[in-house]
Structure 1
Amino acid sequence: MGWARLRELQEAAIAPLLEGEDALLLAGTASGKTEAAVFPLLSKMASQQWAGLSVLYVCPLKALLNNLEPRLASYFSWLGRRAAVWHGDVPVSARRSILRDRPDLLLTTPESIESMLVSVNVDHSLLFADLQAVVVDEVHAFAGDDRGWHLLAVLERISHLVGRPLQRIGLSATVGNPEELLAWLQGAEANRRPGRVIAPHLDFPTSAPLQSTDPLSAPPPGEIELDYVGSLQNAATVIASLHQGEKRLVFCESRQEVEELGQLLRLKGITTFLSHASLALDERRRSEQAFAEARNCVIVSTSTLELGIDVGDLDRVIQIGAPRSVASFLQRLGRTGRRPGATRNCLFLAPDRPSLLRAAGLLLLWGRGWIEPVVAPPEPRHIVAQQILALCLQERQIGDHVWHEWWNGLDPFTRSADVILRYLVEQGYLQRDGDMLFIGPEAELRFGHRHFMSMTAVFTAPPEFTVLAGRTELGRIDPSLLTEQIQGPRRLLLGGRSWQVTYVDWKRRRCFVEPVDGGGKARWTGMGLAGHSFELSRAMREVVLGAEPPVSLTRRAVDQLAELRQQHLPAAHPGGTMVTRLTSGDVYWWTWAGFRTNATLTSTLAGLTDPMQEPTDLYLRLRRDLNPAEWKVGIADAADRLCLPDVDEKALSGLKFNTALPQRLALATLATRLADLPGALAVLKEPSRFVITH
């Protein structure tokens, strides 16, 4: 391979992985984490004569699996071994080949593992009989949402199936709580199996500053720049005029923004490619391949290119607005500076004032070396319901008294979930024959379509229409674009190009189009909870109070931050929170505490707060007739009676398998996930000032 030596992470991983320890490997992007995990496993495969499918390699994105497969197949071929990939886009013929002749390594997703376990066409006992180890790439991307619970659950079921624990190896570049993440990855075996965090040059406890030797710590300020451009149109002008001849990766925070910016850049004559989840697979592959081979060009992407997909050597990363987290920014920053002599860099272009303040707050946290801890969503009761149903599909029937043993004691997949099991039986999702449980008619009705394929994924996806130009699939759009009232022809924006709708097949959810010169619109409906964290919101307050992020600021950014400070300074105080009554009579409590904290406070202080409001990141509305004396009495004991936020029943549509839970438990799950009790407690312990502003 032309390597003079292994990298430090790769050297450090050899001994513990050969000894069979679980591990979390932490290092910057493009630091050889895949090789650090796989090379010791290959050595064990040879020395211990592993046969059959012995290693699973799990990724959060199908594109990342496709990107890794040629490299890993090459490594395995050195020993006369084979690697293969299995996910939703892999043809049936290739899957049948895998089942006939099992590879030594299988690259896959949690959803595909679930489909193998429940499929009547897969002998899962034979397929996984020789499994020894699991590598989880970008492990932080799993742990922070319900896909992580799903991944842990299916790994426990496989472990129970084969009758032994599996060696678990996680790979990550950015995480603020590595020890906790390792324990999470170990699942039921945490505290029972040896495990260690392997992170040369990285030594940071939960959400604490990174050490100065960390490759992702702050580069020189000149390499990170914050600019204010005022609009997406102006952002396109800046991108088109800067860095001519270089390869630029531009990150946006929504698919709509990707489409609009892509079109603007093409109109300026810039060679532009697009990548986001609603583009057709072939379209994304063409864009990513063309971008990897080109030089003077731009690719505009959502977070789909944030993870370790190889798009070749990059010269520049440009961020429109602000990413959702410091960890996300570090992933994006790590896409640059990979060539010898190159440095990491990122140019922030804020299209409006709120995004400028968010970016400044995020860069302030980054400059201090702070990274968000990765925390699994609490109380995944809907995943418990899904797993019980999936187990009954897998085994065809399961004993009433032994079902919980399949998860080896992993909480919450224990007898504590008996209330969920009883509900599944009562509502007909399960049927009982003596002590045996099996799939019932309600589960068949709700989830049985296409051989229970909807049971294999734990995330919801809004209904979308497939867009076709002739026989070529372009991608998917939000159906509201096809139903809204418009004047004139209906035009869409997809792949950075405008298309005119010629026919809509409502029954099959297909939309046929032909190219036009302009006028297209893009829109997708988001399903996640909005809002900033407590820490980011507090960092934004610090910026208002005068703190400067350790980056280069353009004159435009400096001027706009000065105006933002003048605007918000009456509502910001370093020693506590501010209650302001405007001359209009509206009363605002400026907590600077984040969406989840403010939602918790709105519920806890019911009677003082406006019940009709939608909480924001920075403030919440109080009663218009509230006076300082009432306020003081009302919050006196609030810290002792914190309440979970109220949840609208309509929000249950975003919680997959919610119908398989008693409604009170489904609502309680959402309320717990919406709450930030520590943040609310911190705010209530602070002094608050009641002022009248003009």
Structure 2
Amino acid sequence: MTGVDRLHPGLVHHIVNTLGWADLRPLQAAAIEPILGGHDALLLAPTAGGKTEAAVFPALSAMADRDWSGISVLYLCPLRALLNNLHPRIAGYASWIGRTAGLWHGDTGATQRRRLRIARPDLLLTTPESLEAMLVSTLTDPRQLFADLRLVIVDEVHAFAGDDRGWHLLAVLERLSRLAGRRLQRIGLSATVGNPDQLLHWLQGANVGHRTGTVVAPDTPAGPVPQVDVTLDYVGSVDNAATVIAALHRGEKRLAFCDSRSQVEQLAFALRGRGVQTFVSHSSLAADERRQAEEAFAEARDCVIVATSTLELGVDVGDLDRVIQLDAPRTVASFLQRLGRTGRRPDTARNTLFLATKQDTLLKAAGLLTLWRDGYVEPVTPPPTPRHIVAQQLLALCLQEGRIGADIWPAWYGDLSLFDDTTPRIVDWLVATGHLDLDNGMLAIGPETERRYGRRHFMELLTVFAAAPEFTVLHGRQQIGSTDALALTIKVDGPRVIVLGGRTWKVTHVDWKRQRCYVEGTDLPGRSLWHGFLPPQSYELAQAQRRVLLGTQPDINHSHRAEQTLATLREDRASQVWDGGTVVQVVDDEHRWWTWAGRRANATLAASLPKAAVDGARLDDHMIRLRGDLTAPALRQLIDTVDTHGLPAPEIDGEAVTGLKFGEVLPADLATTTLAERAADGPAAHTVLASPFRWVTSL
């Protein structure tokens, strides 16, 4: 066996004799030297590429060889389900060298938490939110609990880095480093990303000047991706998709991805109505319901599990035969994660069947597959200017320490780019609004923070992601999951019936005060609704759809229906694309500028052009509505007046701040500025402004 000379002999023995491995995978062998050498590292491999073992085996070797004690290694995941899935496996590896692994997250009971405090495990699996809850808990002394911490493994690090949970993670790691009194080695695990070096640098956090960082990616292919079995079909509706799935691939285990909970429920209900053994997994199902479904699916054969992205991030649901995608995922990276769930058995190919339920989603899927065939993967870009997370961290640090110096935050967070020159103003604002008390130069939690976040032991303050309030759905004493208030208030004729877990439930009583909904089973048809919005498409994805309309055909299998529908789309939308640049389409009094630039770029363009050009704020991922009295020469003149070196951010309605978690504890102008800067795409807008446009009058 190669690459194991530096691993602990006890581990090597069990790798050979317990796992029966003749050799390590390339990633696992390549990761040993940098991790044992103390490097920060980013380990890249497709789904099922052995990333967990690549990080855990060297970490356990270091623990044994260097006689680390206490909680010396943290393993952080974005999902509780993934932690539940990984814990037995990692605990087994730890036991090979006489060590223990513990699990702590929001579903961990009080008794088990007490045991973990008393008998600290050597390796702790948790989430960043639970980690911060430990830091501020009155039941835990964080300086004692984390005194021996040495190394942190962050699984699915790309999922953190792409949103505010990543900034929160980095801030919590800096606080842990100060409590432990040493720099913590950081190991990130990720699927393929477009900017690995930048992602590693981001993960390293503050004061990285003297840290060594290594990207380990021996399995990452260069250039176009290898051949796999990918088929694009157009079915026109979710019910038709259920018919296709019920008829195809009988006897196989299939995982069907949908990008909304409502679509998951609609498809699962339709499949069960066609006699298909169907399981369901999404974030609004109760943890027990979700776990039982995933375990039953792992043991079954001729069945389908329908899920949102909850099953994208590495949760093991057994050996899959096929992945089915309704419509299209958000990104190429997400598609790669889903594609990687298949082809794990020898002599089987990775595969995905796309079933588009609308013409627009067929075009989006074709564009995404065009990018994939070109070898493109999106860069992971942390959201800019996370000032609201700064406010959250200042409050959380005061909770942790009781009192801190008014200017002590740089000592805790170093030069972490989370903080900028607006931080002193945020501190002043928190004091002025009563969120913090200032006494003799010391800050402490103020009455307004107690009032706003104090219930449930400040748990709302420790949760960075925003979630709309939902009603708990109960069948007797059994919790089925939760549903949006919209499903309970929208007008219906006859009994109110909701779909949850792929089954229909008649609502018998709603406890509005306690936000509980009581149900009983029924055969009546129903529906489920959740608030939500489609995330903006990127410039690259919008441009890929333009290329499809101009004739590009991704090198995959197309059904006859998909080919016919794409041909119809190209004919119907021919006046909206031009291979030389953008198009302004004039139909009656409507002027639509087809930029194919993505919603953020279009919002930036709308903010950059004078009011004389733009018709309100009506725009989407592909076009901007211009004023009906505009002429081609006038538009050219207005574009020429735009200062492309300093494009303004889009205008943001003050009410939109309610959608920014902790935006309410920022000065109003900083909150709206933060949102505006996140809604902008200056480089793509600059590209559009520099391109020619064609003026087309359609009949």
TM-score range, shorter chain: over 0.9
Partner of 1:458: 464
Q: What does residue range 659-678 of structure 1 map to in structure 2 within 5 Å?
A: 659-678=664-683
Partner of 2:117: 99
Contact 1:218 1:366 in 2 (8 A): no
Partner of 2:580: 575
Contact 1:474 1:494 in 2 (8 A): yes
Contact 2:359 2:565 in 1 (8 A): yes
Change (3 A) 1:382 1:529: farther
Q: Which of 446, 452, 463 is the aligned partner of 1:446?
A: 452
Q: Which of 198, 217, 220 is the aligned partner of 1:180?
A: 198
**Cα-Cα RMSD:** 1.1
Q: What does residue range 27-106 of structure 1 map to in structure 2 within 5 Å?
A: 27-106=45-124
Deviation at 1:643, TM superposition (A): 1.4
Partner of 1:207: none
What is the TM-score when the length of structure 1 is the normalising length? 0.97
Deviation at 1:414, TM superposition (A): 5.7
Deviation at 1:640, TM superposition (A): 4.1
Amino acid at match of 1:536: L
Distance 1:538 1:609 in 2: 23
Amino acid at match of 1:489: P
Q: Is residue 154 from structure 1 mapped to residue 172 from structure 2 by the alignment?
A: yes
Q: Is residue 386 from structure 1 mapped to residue 404 from structure 2 by the alignment?
A: no
Deviation at 1:518, TM superposition (A): 2.2
Amino acid at match of 1:265: L
* Structure 2 residue matching 1:386: 3-state secondary structure: helix
Distance 2:344 2:692 in 1: 48
Post-superposition CA distance 1:436-495 (Å, at most 9, x none): 110000111111111111111111110100000000001110101112222211111111
What is the TM-score when the length of structure 2 is the normalising length? 0.96
Q: Which of 394, 418, 421 is the aligned partner of 1:412?
A: 418
* Structure 1 residue matching 2:21: 3-state secondary structure: coil
Deviation at 1:416, TM superposition (A): 4.7
Q: What does residue range 247-258 of structure 1 map to in structure 2 within 5 Å?
A: 247-258=253-264
Amino acid at match of 2:364: R
Contact 1:275 1:288 in 2 (8 A): yes
Deviation at 1:160, TM superposition (A): 1.1
Q: What does residue range 253-332 of structure 1 map to in structure 2 within 5 Å?
A: 253-332=259-338
* Structure 2 residue matching 1:635: 3-state secondary structure: helix
Q: What does residue range 247-646 of structure 1 map to in structure 2 within 5 Å?
A: 247-413=253-419, 416-526=422-532, 530-582=535-587, 584-638=588-642, 639-646=644-651
Partner of 2:29: 11
Deviation at 1:31, TM superposition (A): 1.4
Distance 1:413 1:603 in 2: 27
Contact 1:23 1:182 in 2 (8 A): yes
Deviation at 1:164, TM superposition (A): 1.1
Deviation at 1:529, TM superposition (A): 6.2
Distance 2:353 2:615 in 1: 41
Unaligned runs of 5+ in 1: 204-209
Deviation at 1:235, TM superposition (A): 0.4
* Structure 2 residue matching 1:455: 3-state secondary structure: coil
* Structure 2 residue matching 1:382: 3-state secondary structure: helix
Q: Is residue 144 from structure 1 mapped to residue 152 from structure 2 by the alignment?
A: no
Contact 2:242 2:271 in 1 (8 A): yes
Post-superposition CA distance 1:82-105 (Å, at most 9, x none): 001100001011111111111000
Contact 1:532 1:594 in 2 (8 A): yes
Moved beyond 6 Å, runs of 4+: none
Distance 2:325 2:363 in 1: 14
Contact 2:136 2:396 in 1 (8 A): yes
Contact 2:32 2:54 in 1 (8 A): yes
Amino acid at match of 2:223: Q
Q: Point out the more displaced range, 546-555 or 408-417.
A: 408-417
Distance 1:344 1:196 in 2: 29
Amino acid at match of 1:351: T
Change (3 A) 1:189 1:32: farther
Distance 1:478 1:147 in 2: 23
Change (3 A) 1:465 1:183: same
% identical aligned pairs: 57
Deviation at 1:189, TM superposition (A): 3.6
Unaligned runs of 5+ in 2: 1-18
Partner of 1:131: 149
Post-superposition CA distance 1:129-157 (Å, at most 9, x none): 00000000000000000000000000001
Q: Point out the more displaced range, 397-406 or 346-355.
A: 397-406
Distance 1:541 1:403 in 2: 48
Contact 2:613 2:638 in 1 (8 A): no
Amino acid at match of 2:243: T
